[in-house]
Amino acid sequence: MLRVYGDLQSGNCYKVKLLLAYLGLPHEWVHVDILKGESRTPEFLARNPNGKIPTLEIGPGDYLWESNAILYYLADGTDFRPSTRVLRARVLQWQSFEQYSHEPYIAVARYIEKYLGLPEARRAEYEAKRAGGYRALGVMEQHLAARDFFVGAHATIADVSLYAYTHVAHEGGFSLSDYPAVRRWCARLAALPGYVTMSGA
Amino acid sequence: MLRVYGDLQSGNCYKVKLLLAYLGLPHEWVHVDILKGESRTPEFLARNPNGKIPTLEIGPGDYLWESNAILYYLADGTDFRPSTRVLRARVLQWQSFEQYSHEPYIAVARYIEKYLGLPEARRAEYEAKRAGGYRALGVMEQHLAARDFFVGAHATIADVSLYAYTHVAHEGGFSLSDYPAVRRWCARLAALPGYVTMSGA
């Protein structure tokens, strides 16, 4: 049985939950509260020395971490990973874009607002995330204008990665009103069989 | 002929140069000066809408971007990508670690010092990179204490990704003196056939 250590309110963890749901894979979900320091205990660091969630137990005492690596592992042999070298590289390209040019703005702004309650001490940092987040959304909008999914003709783990924080971008103060192609793409992913929301419904 | 758009002084671009050298692949290198805005021209944005280097031309008018995606593409079918599902996922795990928990500290500190000349206006940001950078080096040191390479028994693109900014960490003010396993691993990579330095020698 796959065991996931994570927090469903974290988009990085929800990526894993969503793919498991799309694939219909049974699993155990162990809640980890990062605000209580549960990802920095000696016990947890033995699972993931980088002290982050999600972390996946793939065998007794054998752990895999980093959301993109976990998605890659779970999607192997399914339609959520394309079968050609170029398309597989493009999936990685968009997942890397998400981790480096999207998540550090949209997810961090959401963390400051939703988890921390937008404290005054972090308001300047919160505001500074605005430009980079909208820039990432602009790159997505342009790409999706003539496409249904990020890579190829159906949903892949690139879509799963990008969907997680995009569909809750408003929780970090971002509006999708000027991004109609992104909104249509979000609806497309929510309509796929097996879809679950962040609250698990 | 593969054409790479990049700047050899950028570790993200050097990753691509180093793998091409290890693999002995002929290629054309087109220098892009990001400080002169050359990655944000309309012409360049048509290649990579995210305006970043490295960008690889894999066919006429067909471009791939994000260093990890490019390494994945180039290493396909070679020893620099392992052949099992678990090991491949672990390669991605370490490459994701590099992009999210290592590069934003060590590479950005180096950028502020080496490219920008450590201006007073960015000194606080530079100092704030210290803790995260040493944290990443600590995770690497622990992992390498009993291993020669990051994944499996020989060098993979995980090593290439992590080597790029680690071996020039001193240019961002980081000392490797307390990280002997990391230093030995650096020497191991520099001794592999085909190795090139950042200056291309």
Tell me the pLDDT tens digit for each residue of A46-93. Answer: 999 999 999 999 999 999 999 999 999 999 999 999 999 999 999 999
pLDDT band of A35, cuts 50, 70, 90: confident
Pick the CATH number of B2-74 from 3.40.50.2020, 1.20.272.10, 3.40.30.10, 3.40.50.150: 3.40.30.10
pLDDT band of A1, cuts 50, 70, 90: confident
> In B, what residues contact A, Cβ < 8 A?
49-50, 52, 58, 64-70, 72-73, 76, 85-86, 88-90, 92-93, 96-97, 99-101, 104, 139, 142-143
Q: Of the candidates A92, A104, A101, A191, which has an alpha carbon nearest to the alpha carbon of residue A137? A: A101
| Integer Cα distance of A30 and B71 in angstroms | 34
The DSSP secondary structure of B153-175, one letter per residue, reads SS--HHHHHHHHHHTTGGGGT--
The owner of tokens 């991004």 is: A179
| Integer Cα distance of B55 and A195 in angstroms | 34
CATH of span A85-191: 1.20.1050.10
DSSP tag of A177 = T
Q: Which two tokens stand for residue A45?
A: 């660091």
Q: State the SS3 of B51-115.
A: CCCCEEEEECCEEEECHHHHHHHHHCCCCCCCCCHHHHHHHHHHHHHHHHHHHHHHHHHHHHHHH
Among chain B residues, the shortest Cα distance to A58 is held by B86
CB contact (8 A) between residue A58 and residue B93: no
pLDDT band of A162, cuts 50, 70, 90: very high
Distance from CA of B139 to the nearest CA of A (A): 6
Domain ranges of chain A: 2-74, 85-191
Contact in structure between A97 and A129 (CB atoms under 8 Å): no
A200 has pLDDT over 80: no
pLDDT at residue A93 in the model: 98
pLDDT at residue A13 in the model: 97
pLDDT at residue A201 in the model: 72
How many interface pairs between A and B have CB atoms less than 8 angstroms apart?
78
CA distances from B190 to A73, B18, B21, B74, B195 (A): 30, 10, 12, 20, 6
- ipTM, two decimals, is 0.93
How many residues comprise chain A?
201
> In A, what residues contact B, Cβ < 8 A?
49-50, 52, 58, 64-70, 72-73, 76, 85-86, 88-90, 92-93, 96-97, 99-101, 104, 139, 142-143
| Integer Cα distance of A1 and A27 in angstroms | 6
pLDDT at residue B55 in the model: 98
- Other Cβ atoms within 10 Å of A40 Cβ, number: 11
B139 vs A50, A70, A93: nearest CB: A50
| Integer Cα distance of A92 and A97 in angstroms | 8
Which of B74, B96, B161, B165 has the most A C-beta neighbours within 10 Å, making it the best mutation to test the interface with A?
B96
- Chunk chain B into consecutive blocks of 10 residues (it has 201) and report each block's average pLDDT, rounded to whole numbers: 93 97 96 94 96 96 96 97 96 96 96 95 96 98 97 97 98 98 98 93 72
| Integer Cα distance of B201 and B199 in angstroms | 6
Three-class SS of residue A45? Answer: helix
| Integer Cα distance of A91 and B63 in angstroms | 13
CB contact (8 A) between residue A67 and residue B104: no
| Integer Cα distance of A82 and A89 in angstroms | 9
pLDDT band of A96, cuts 50, 70, 90: very high
pLDDT at residue B74 in the model: 98
Taking the CA atoms of B139, B89, A198 and B66 in sequence, report the sign of the dihedral they define. positive
